[in-house]
Structure 1
Amino acid sequence: MRRLLSKAVVIAATRDDEYPWRQNAHYILLILSFFLFLCFILGNYWLFSVHLPDFIPPFQQPRDYCDKILYLFAVGVHVLSHIVLVLLVLCSGCIYVWFRWRSVVDED
């Protein structure tokens, strides 16, 4: 969705556009990014606040249990997203330091 909206911003080069919503697409991207960030934070809270729930359905309320495969899949996806986020931050930091170092070396 974000990629589609970013393409809409690039296409909107003229002011006489028949789609006036393209001029406000950066606000839509901002709202969508905030919503996804909020979902990520709330998903972390909801998933990791219940550490190893009951995987066996109780006799009185059979709907109040967690499926083991679904829970482990959700934990795996969240852990993988955290790993990707950390790698992205580390690689961005390394690239920044490398470019700063190259600019200092080029000045000398």
Structure 2
Amino acid sequence: MSLMWRQVRSRRYEKLDDVYRPDEDGGDVPASKSSRFSDAVLSLFLLVWFACGNFWTFAIWRPHFIQLLHEPSNWCDETVYMFTFVQILICYGIAAFVLMIAGILLLCHRCCLEKS
């Protein structure tokens, strides 16, 4: 998220011409490169963590919600499991919605280009 905000902010600086440019003197360049690297590493970590969470959640679909006597460690609290399941579905729903809106906008853009 911070990477996207930084890109939006840098585009605003380009529009201001020479009024205010923090990158001209080279003062922000090393910090910018290090923050981009840390943002990329954090994004990669979150993507891998999300994939692992998907695997862990869907691999045990409908686990034992009551602690068994012969397998005391083979159970999961129902509230925690359903919360995790719903959160993953919400993430996929938001991603599908964003892709659908992007597809519609791309289709509208192509239609407008063909008309002119």
Same fold (TM over 0.5): yes
* Higher relative contact order, chain-length normalized (CA < 8 Å, sep 6+): 1
Which residue type is aligned with residue 42 of structure 2?
L
Unmatched segments (≥5 aa) in structure 2: 11-20
Q: 1: distance between equivalents of 2:4 and 2:98? A: 23
Return the match for 1:83 from 70, 75, 93.
93
Counterpart in the other structure of 1:57: 67
Q: 1: distance between equivalents of 2:22 and 2:39? A: 15
Contact 2:63/2:75 (8 A) holds in 1: yes
Q: Say how many residue pairs are matched.
A: 105
- Alignment deviations for residues 66-107 of structure 1 (CA, whole Å, 9 cap, x no partner): 00001011101111111111111111111111111111112x
SS in 1 for 2:69: coil
Unmatched segments (≥5 aa) in structure 1: none
- TM-score, L = length of structure 1: 0.78
Contact 1:5/1:25 (8 A) holds in 2: no
Cα RMSD of the aligned pairs, angstroms, is: 2.7
- TM-score, L = length of structure 2: 0.73
Which residue type is aligned with residue 87 of structure 2?
V
- Alignment deviations for residues 25-83 of structure 1 (CA, whole Å, 9 cap, x no partner): 33322222222221111111110000100010123554442000010111011111111
